[in-house]
Amino acid sequence: MNIFLHELRANGKSTFIWSISLIMVVVLFMSFYPSFAKDAEAFTKIMEGYPETVRNLLGVNLGSFFTILGFYCFPLTFITLCGAIQAMNLGTSIISKEVREKTADFLLTKPVTRTKVVTAKLLAAFTSLVLTNLVYLSAASIIAFQVKNENFSFKVFIMLSLTMFFVQLIFLAIGFMLSVMIPKLKSVLPVSLGTVFAFYFLGMFSDTTGEDAKRYLSPFKYYDTAYIVKHAEYEAAFLFAGVVIIIIAVISSYVVYTKKDIHSV
């Protein structure tokens, strides 16, 4: 419990900054909604000038773009990207910071198993993401109700917002695995940004081909916002794929870490 609370406090400043940043992004974008909705015809002509692939990359579906839910999908693309970077940073720093700061040997001399240490750290990172999403969802809900010009399904709004959390969990698990697999991770940021953007560009590639099978290459494409708005549900196959990735990454990380050599200072 002490390790969990220590990690939670250590992540507190970062969690606060990410939460405020995500709120600022959603407030900035959603404040434009009344103007877009008012001049829907003019903006439709502008958006029709862009190729469908580009519109898909931006999360723009002309069929629903000028509804509050359809418009929300637009900033959610960028918000999810930011959330993925936060999760990846947390995941890659779980173990690597102990080696980088030369405190791993001290920590592991305490009367706790490696499994308990890693579990406490992973739970702290998970809790940080939960807090971020609770704060973000509260702020996003308030701004959505403030700018809406017609009633909308709050259930679908919640489902759309939760896609960021689901993507974050996947990147948290991937980052956790990398923190264990890479012997000496000197800097978290390059690995985090490189991994997140690599998957983001893979998602862009899947959009250009239009093949559903290639969507499995990128967690960013597991939750199709247009599908969620239309059907008020997630695609089961991609939801299952995300769960499988998380389970495999976490289990393999535990197995490797409990057996790996930890060099002393």
Instruction: Please tell me what DSSP assigns to residue 96.
Output: H
At 98-124, the pLDDT tens digits run: 655 555 555 555 556 778 888 888 999
The reported pLDDT for the residue numbered 203 is 83
The reported pLDDT for the residue numbered 76 is 92
Q: Which two tokens stand for residue 99?
A: 């080696």
At 141-197, the pLDDT tens digits run: 999 999 888 888 999 999 999 999 999 999 999 999 988 887 777 778 888 889 999
Query: Considering the chain, what is the average pLDDT of its residues?
Result: 84
Question: Taking residues 201-217, what's their average pLDDT?
Answer: 78
CB proximity list for 55: less than 8 A, separation 6 or greater: 47, 61, 62
Q: Sort residue 232 into left (φ over 0), alpha (ψ -120 to 50) or beta.
A: left
